[in-house]
Structure 1
Amino acid sequence: MASKETKQKTNQNDSTTSWEHQSKKIWKQLWSLKIKHKQKIFLWKCLNNALPVRDIIYGRIKAGDPICMRCGEERETIEHTFLNCVDAKITWKLAPIQWEGILEQHGCFRRWWTSITEARHRPQGWQHIALSVHILWQIWKGRNGAEFNGKKYRPWTAIQKALKEWSELGEVDRLETRMSTTETEALHLQHPQLCSQHGVLQFSIGITRDKHEPWVGIGICLIGGAQGTHTGWAMRETSSGSFLLDEALALKLAMCKVAEMQHRVVQFQVQNQQLLNLIQSKQARDIRLATVVEDIIQLRLLFHMCSFCLVQNDNYHLSSKLSTYALGITFDEELLFP
């Protein structure tokens, strides 16, 4: 009789072909979710078996213990971490949403997530899917707290934190001023490059670090707006403490932002030649930087064509101006400016 581990690997292999056919639809749904960018990247890693759980680390470098530290019973795979570990099972039982009828999908995270996304057809389906991501995120944070800091994982606390973050983001979304369909159509008419399917769209990226607080402002500018105008995005994030790493994180966030807009042929202009060299060589020595560079390389797959280059002085002035402005905001902003 095949072991549970063997069956799990068989399920994962069987799902590869079907996943390749479904991936475009899954990505489109993922990037449209009303969740934080870092949570989209996190879920993207789960779906690509790229999250650094023990079994994956052991499989790559043959170091460490592949067994789950929390239960000590099975290998810590993506599926085990979020669905099958005793702590995960308790967490989902306490959740206000119950995904009944898909227990047979727990052997493959991709199949489980694909089943979850079917909820988009029911009332409040997208909200329930977003809440599920928040729960997954808190399971992961709780796992890391136990793994690296010896903190006891508490399922009920994980649910409370997930609900709090989910409701806060929902409130922000309701308070934000949204464009009407007419306004959106008018914007596309004024800025045809926003919906171009064949031209290369260029985005310059600038960052500014706060001198007194641990913040970094990120400015993303779409180059060459109609009638001399430009579209830009301003975001404020916590600084990593490394300027090069901050630049890499800014590029990753920009790629996520542009992917949400479903542009296909893009070029990202960054400040630092060293970052471009790292993307090309894939040989970053710092583990944090290497992880972000790997994310950037994988995110390229979301576009039909994606290239990188150094930002030109004029374009840098615009994105730098936005990044300075971003240090004073609380929520991401989209702006039109001359």
Structure 2
Amino acid sequence: MLAAKGYAAQSANATLAPWDFERRDVGPHDVQIDILYCGVCHSDLAQINNEWFPGIFPMIPGHEIVGRVVKVGEHVKNFKPGDLAGVGTLANSCGKCSHCEDGLEVYCENGVIPTYNGIDRYRDNLPTYGGYSNTIVTDESFTLRISEKLNLAAAAPLLCAGITTYSPMKHWKVGKGHKVAVLGLGGLGHMAVKFGIALGAEVTILSTSPHKASDAKKLGAHHFVVTSNAEEVEKVKASFDFIIDTVSAEHDFDFYLSLLRLNGVHILVGIPPAGFTIKSVGMFQLGRKSVVGSASGGLPETQEMLDFCAEHNIVSDIELIDMKDIHTAFDRMTRGDVKYRFVIDMATL
């Protein structure tokens, strides 16, 4: 076993603190990465606090991981020491079901193994620990190549916020001639804006916060609509082909469905805690509108996204923090006080 250091919660709702632990040894198909940066996702805090389901403790969060390869197993073909590499939300999957065979491991029919807060029942039945640590060992199949062209710290959030917004846009073939609305301007939302523009769509940001108009302009959004402004809303009624919904709070789905045109698609990538309700079924049916969900992508699509980002110079807008400031970052993230993703400099561990 490999000695490792991290920041862990020893129990639910606990404060993260230094913790020495062990990673598995590098096997024939494994890649060991010294972690240089790790993004901070809202799901990190949610899982520490058992908001979704009972967690596995001690828990080391973090699934937006980038760093340099320091060791590879004897059968590894695509990585060598010194390469930049990343690890996203997935640590393993069954590898045998139809979804895994199609490169859609995130939808594994037998259950995916998360990068942290999981038990890898397909390999060694050991807990998985995330990127708030100095090193990680991962199977080559679940390791991503990172271009030297990209700002490495700002590339970290691509492993979750990036692929979570890129994947549905590619699946529903968003591109030139489409009008896309991005609901919510945060970690996911600002990535959706960047991808929508790069794919050639006309992008509008829908927000409850008028003060975010200047941010929308800086990001390159074509339009900005304050959803409490009746006059602005009236101008975009029944006009969007797609709404990328990044909001994880309760909101009025009937209202947003009214903004979709015929055959419009409302794509959920946020996770409203109470789910959603559609009351105006007639409008839903007569407009032949759809509400769909999407998770982060499979490994081939995530690599495609990273290569797309290198080609188009797309990274996340970040605030780089020290490891000791993680709880301040959590507090600010909860208040929406970040533009637009915190990333931990793991040299401060």
Q: TM-score, normalised by structure 1?
A: 0.27
> Which structure shows the higher strand fraction?
2
Greater Rg by CA: 1
